[in-house]
Amino acid sequence: MRAHLLEVSVHIDGGSRGNPGPAAAAVIVSDREGRVLAEQARYLGEATNNVAEWAALENAVELLVRLARERGPVRAAVYADSELLVRQFNGQYRIKSAALQRAALRIRELLARHPEVHLSLRYVPREENIADGAVNRELNRVLKQGKNEGAAGKMAEVGEELRDTVKMVADFMALSARTAPKALGRDFLVTRVLSGENELARLADAMAAYGREAGKKDFDRDGENVRRSDAVLLIGLKDPATLGLNCGACGNSKCADLKTVEGPEFRGPVCAWRLVDFGIAVGSAVKTASLFNVDNRIMYRVGVVARRLGLIEGEVVLGIPLSATGKSIFFDRVWPPPGQK
């Protein structure tokens, strides 16, 4: 039976006060009757107008992927009041900024991995863009609270140079996972390093949202750890072949009987020996972090949401946030924070 196609309108906007200056991005997804299906407004820290517009488009695509997982195929007419963004995305204008080229590549790769999301981007005058007000409200909220220096969702207080060093450690960890011993020498690992305030805040926001939607505890707590981290290493196990031992460790008497299906968060069952390989690889990665005295914590919840967002593919995914501060942010994790209960 063919899945019903959900048609939606998406209004996006990004704005900066100062260009560059305090910036925010907003997304509003509505059905054909005008009912709001999803809404998001997020402070970006210091950014230009164009960066904020691209951040809004990337956030919109991630929301649409999530909506398609829940409701089936989605056809989205996306409206933006930035002619520059529309023409850049549609290939009429060249994208000169390396950072925006990376954003465009992430968006196109995400859409390529999710053909169930059909998207067109069109220009609309500002007065017809309902997301414009959401951007201004978010900026007013943050600036009123004195967070114009990026305190809303900013990472741990370390210098830019140290932050780059932590990302380098994450790259070394990915290398350690790759070179860890594996059964028959066959490697089914996938890795990705996330860094940068916007990228980490996007994951943190999605974790809190998933926890609320699924009624699951501590996704908001772990998301706050991600927000305060300097980098996150994602490690997944993709298309792992069985070892062919017919050992029964996976719960099936024969390897040929092992049939994986998509579960609520991961895909399984998986060959037990490939999971052993996965565990050894994760252990090798965190051992490398310890050699550099970089604080870290292995988190299942990070992997769940990173997989849902399409940040990494794999049957099973774990996330390892990394932080370099005087006191580890991964201990004494009282949640909700005092005064917010």
Which pLDDT belongs to residue 35? Answer: 86
**CATH code: domain of residue 81:** 3.30.420.10
**CATH code: domain of residue 290:** 3.40.109.10
Other CB atoms within 10 A of residue 25 CB: 31
φ, ψ (nearest 5 deg) of residue 192 = -155, 140
- Whether the CB-CB separation of 81 and 123 falls below 8 Å is answered with yes
- Whether the CB-CB separation of 76 and 8 falls below 8 Å is answered with yes
Same domain, 81 and 140: yes
**In a domain? residue 328:** no
Which pLDDT belongs to residue 140? Answer: 86
State the pLDDT confidence band at 318, using cuts at 50, 70 and 90. very high
Which residues are 310's β-sheet partners? none
Other CB atoms within 10 A of residue 118 CB: 16
Q: How many domains does the chain have?
A: 2
Boundary residue ending a domain (117, 144, 171): 144
Give start and end residues of each alpha helix (H) in 215-265: 219-228
Length reported for the chain: 341
33 contact partners, CB below 8 Å, separation of at least 6: none
Same domain, 164 and 91: no
Report the percentage of the chain scoring pLDDT > 90. Answer: 66
pTM exceeds 0.85: no
- Over residues 172-228, the pLDDT tens digits come to 999 999 999 999 999 999 999 998 877 888 899 899 889 988 899 999 999 999 998
Same domain, 83 and 122: yes
What spatial distance separates the first Cα and last Cα of the chain, rounded to whole Å? 46
According to the 3-state scheme, what is the secondary structure of 137-172?
HHHHHHHHCCCCCCCCCCCCCCCHHHHHHHHHHHHH
**In a domain? residue 127:** yes
Determine the Cα–Cα distance for residues 161 and 182; give it in Å rounded to an integer.
35
Same domain, 83 and 117: yes
- List the single range of 42-51, 312-321, 327-336 with lowest mean pLDDT: 327-336
Q: At what angle do helices 300-308 and 49-71 cross, to 10 degrees?
A: 90
**In a domain? residue 150:** no
Region 72-80: mean pLDDT is: 96
- Over residues 109-157, the pLDDT tens digits come to 999 999 999 999 999 998 899 999 889 888 888 887 764 444 444 433 4
Which pLDDT belongs to residue 33? Answer: 83
Same domain, 119 and 193: no
Same domain, 114 and 241: no
**In a domain? residue 97:** yes
Same domain, 31 and 102: yes
DSSP calls for 29-91: EEETT--EEEEEEEEEEEE-HHHHHHHHHHHHHHHHHHHHHHHS-EEEEEEES-HHHHHHHTT
**Residue 215 belongs to domain spanning:** 160-323
Rg over alpha carbons for the chain, rounded to the nearest Å, is: 21
**In a domain? residue 329:** no
**In a domain? residue 120:** yes
Determine the Cα–Cα distance for residues 266 and 254; give it in Å rounded to an integer.
22
Same domain, 126 and 185: no
Which pLDDT belongs to residue 260? Answer: 85
**In a domain? residue 235:** yes
- Whether the CB-CB separation of 139 and 41 falls below 8 Å is answered with no
Same domain, 193 and 263: yes
**In a domain? residue 98:** yes
Q: At what angle do helices 197-214 and 219-228 cross, to 10 degrees?
A: 180
Residue with tokens 């024969």: 254
Which pLDDT belongs to residue 334? Answer: 62
pLDDT higher than 70, residue 337:
no
Same domain, 85 and 207: no
Same domain, 184 and 94: no
Same domain, 103 and 176: no
pLDDT higher than 60, residue 332:
yes
- Over residues 58-72, the pLDDT tens digits come to 999 999 998 998 889
Which pLDDT belongs to residue 188? Answer: 95
**How far, rounded to the nearest angstrom, does the alpha carbon of residue 68 sit from its chain's CA centroid?**
16
Identify the residue with better confidence: 99 or 149.
99
Which pLDDT belongs to residue 138? Answer: 87
- Whether the CB-CB separation of 26 and 41 falls below 8 Å is answered with yes
